């Protein structure tokens, strides 16, 4: 039997070692680059009792996007990173897409906005990372692939399926490509018997539509409320 060529094995092992280190370093750099833009969100009720924890991504100066379901029943909202905590208010809301924009009025909030390109579609097989606060464990990094792109009946991108693990508390976090560009907002995971690692993010292109859709939905909400109030007044 021919002996294995140890020099070849050693060469291979060294190459792999170098390659692994380089890859890890790149991911470390990537994390350092985008981590300042991802924050923990905590909501509380009127009595200050904590309700939920989630994540939010800075997409413009003192503006962070998160999932609306993180804010359900909230009376107050904080965005937190380490020992820094800022009060946030709801600025825009797109309930249909579960996207809400938080505003921080305190000018001391100087977290950098992420970069994103609304016109760029993710590609199946593309390597991605997520940063969020699963189970309120601040700034957890996971990685994986774009598994699938989900389109609606009108052939518009509806959700990005990916394989990087997320958990409760990851909602509102960022899905990034390896250059640090935001691709989506991590929103949900499929759960159930036999279901494993099916995670979904909302397309980043929706951020550009948030203002218009928020205005529309708020206008409809206030209009409905006014009509109901007028109806009640007429009855009395």
Partner 1 sequence: MKPIAPLLIALALLLSAGCAPTPVKVPDYVAPPEGPASAKIQVRSPALAGNGFLHVFDDGALCTGPHQLASSATATKAFNASSRLKAGEPSTLLFHYRNVAKKHCRVAMTFVPEAGRNYLATAFANEATSCGFILFDITDPTELKPVKRRALRTLIPAKDQGAYCRKADLEAEFAKAARPNRSNMKMSDLADILPPEPAK
Where on the chain is the footprint of partner 1 (CB under 8 A)?
A: 46, 67-69, 71-77, 89-93, 95-98, 100, 153, 159, 188, 200, 214-215, 217-219, 221-222
Instruction: Pick the closer one to partner 1 by CB: 34 or 183.
Output: 183
Q: How far is the CB of 53 from partner 1 (least distance, A)?
A: 16
Q: How far is the CB of 49 from partner 1 (least distance, A)?
A: 13
157-162 and 76-81 strand pairing: unpaired
Q: How far is the CB of 220 from partner 1 (least distance, A)?
A: 9
Instruction: Pick the closer one to partner 1 by CB: 32 or 89.
Output: 89
Instruction: Pick the closer one to partner 1 by CB: 2 or 46.
Output: 46
Q: What number of other Cβ atoms are within 10 A of residue 116's Cβ?
A: 21
Distance CA 35, CA 216 (A): 33
Q: Tell me which H or E stretch contains 129.
A: strand 127-132
Instruction: Pick the closer one to partner 1 by CB: 5 or 106.
Output: 106
The HSE-up count of residue 226 (CA atoms within 13 Å, CB side) is: 6
Instruction: Pick the closer one to partner 1 by CB: 6 or 191.
Output: 191
99 and 68 in contact (C-beta within 8 Å)? yes
- Sequence-distant contacts of 221-226: CB under 8 A, at least 24 apart: none
**SS3 category, 152:** coil
Q: How far is the CB of 189 from partner 1 (least distance, A)?
A: 11
Q: How far is the CB of 41 from partner 1 (least distance, A)?
A: 12
Q: What angle (nearest 5°) sits at the alpha carbon of residue 33, between those of residues 207 and 126?
A: 65
Q: How far is the CB of 180 from partner 1 (least distance, A)?
A: 27
Q: How far is the CB of 223 from partner 1 (least distance, A)?
A: 8
Closest CA to 41 of 10, 68, 79: 79
Residues ≥6 apart with Cβ < 8 Å to 7:
none
Instruction: Pick the closer one to partner 1 by CB: 23 or 73.
Output: 73
Q: Quickly tell me which residue has 């390896």 as its tokens.
A: 178
Q: Taking the alpha carbons of 216, 217, 218, 219 in that order, is the dihedral positive or negative?
A: positive
Instruction: Pick the closer one to partner 1 by CB: 30 or 98.
Output: 98
């Amino acid at each position: 039997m021919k002996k294995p060529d140890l020099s070849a094995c050693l060469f291979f092992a060294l190459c792999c070692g170098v390659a692994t280190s380089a890859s890890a370093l790149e991911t470390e750099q990537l994390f350092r680059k985008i981590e300042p833009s991802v924050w923990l969100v905590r909501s509380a009720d009127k009595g200050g009792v904590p309700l939920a924890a989630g994540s939010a991504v800075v997409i413009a100066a003192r503006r962070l996007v998160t999932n609306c379901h993180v804010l359900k029943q909230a009376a107050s909202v904080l965005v937190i990173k380490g020992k820094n905590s800022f009060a946030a208010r709801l600025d825009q809301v797109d309930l249909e897409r579960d996207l809400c924009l938080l505003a921080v009025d305190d000018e001391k909030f100087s977290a950098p906005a992420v970069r994103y390109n609304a016109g760029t579609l993710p590609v199946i097989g593309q390597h991605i990372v997520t940063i969020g606060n699963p189970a309120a464990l601040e700034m957890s990094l996971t990685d994986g692939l774009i598994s699938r792109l989900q389109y609606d009946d009108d052939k518009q991108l509806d959700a990005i399926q990916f394989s990087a693990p997320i958990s409760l508390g990851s909602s509102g976090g960022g899905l990034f490509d390896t250059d640090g560009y935001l691709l989506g907002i991590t929103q949900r995971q499929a759960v159930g018997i036999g279901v494993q690692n099916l995670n979904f993010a909302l397309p980043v292109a929706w951020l550009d539509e948030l203002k218009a859709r928020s205005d529309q939905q708020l206008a409809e909400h206030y209009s409905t409320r006014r009509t109901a109030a007028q109806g009640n007044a007429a009855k009395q």
